[in-house]
Amino acid sequence: MNPVVSPEGLALLTLVQNASLPVKLVMALLMLASFISWTMIFRKWYALRQAQAVASRFERRFWSGGNIVQMYNELAGKGANPAGMESLFVEGFREYKRLVGQPNIQPMEILEGVQRAMRVALSREIDYLEMHLPFLATVGSTSPYVGLFGTVWGIMNSFRSLGAVQQPTIGHVAPGIAEALIATAIGLFAAIPAVIAYNRYSSQVERLVTRYEIFMAEFSSILQRQAFAARSG
C-alpha cells in the first residue's frame, strides 16, 4: 500500500522524519504514553474481570449455607492466596477468632475489632483496584495539551519559513502545518482511549467496592449474632 500523500506530494512518514526536534520529541512522548496506557488498559481489564469473578464465586459459596469455619480454614490455609472479597472474609474471621477467645470481652468490642480488620483489608483491595487509574487520568487530561505544544511549534516554524522567502507559497508552510496536525492527532490518539478506559474502570471499581461494603455489613451482622450467642451460652 502506498503511503498517504498530501496534494503537495509530502508523504506522512516523510513529514514525521523531517519534523523539527521539539515536535519529534512531542510525538515520541505521546506514542510512549499511548503504548503504556494501552498496556495498563489491558492489564486493568484483566484484573477487574478476575476480581469480579472471584467476588461472584465467593458470594455463591458463602451464601450457599456452607460451614464458615471450613471456608476460613481453606482460604487461610498454607499456600492459599485470598483476594478481593475472600481477603475481607479471612481478615474479619481471623480477628473474630482471636477476640472471641478472650475473657471479659463484650460482643460489641468483638464486632468493632472485626470491622476494623475488614476495613484495613478493604483499603488494600481498593489500592489494588485503583492501581494505574491515576496514570490513565493523567494521560487523558494532558496528552491533548502536549500535542497542542507540538501544533504551536509547527505553526511557528511555518511562519518563520514565510519570512525567509520573497514569494511565499503553500509549499513553504505545508510541512510545518502538517507536522503540527500530526502532533495534534497523536495527542488525541493517546488521550481518547485513556479517558474512556478511566471512566469505565472507575465505574467498575466503585460497583465492586460497593459489593465489598455490602458483604462487610452482612458478615458483621452474622459474626455479631455469633458473638452474642457465644457470650450468652
111 in a structural domain: yes
- Asked, for residue 66, whether it belongs to a domain, the answer is yes
The model carries a pTM of: 0.80
Q: What is the pLDDT of residue 205?
A: 95
Instruction: Give the residue carrying C-alpha cell 496528552.
Output: 143
How is residue 2 annotated by DSSP? P
Q: What is the mean pLDDT of each run of 10 residues along the chain (233 residues)?
A: 44 66 84 94 94 92 86 82 90 90 83 93 94 93 88 76 62 68 86 95 95 93 82 60
Angle, CA of 129, 38 and 188, to the nearest 5°: 115
Residue 1 within any structural domain of the chain:
no
Q: Which amino acid is at 228?
A: F
For the chain, the domain total comes to: 1
The angle that helices 68-75 and 85-100 make with each other, rounded to 10 degrees, is 110
The 10 Å Cβ neighbour count of residue 44 is: 22
Structural domain containing residue 129: 12-232
- Residue 4 forms part of a structural domain: no
Residue 203 lies in a domain: yes
Whether 2 maps to a domain, the answer reads: no
Q: Is residue 5 part of a domain?
A: no
What per-residue confidence (pLDDT) applies to 5? 44
Q: Helices 170-232 and 21-62 sit at what angle, rounded to 10 degrees?
A: 20
Residue 166 domain flag: yes
b/e code 205-222 from CB counts within 10 Å (16+ = b): beebeebbeebbeebbee
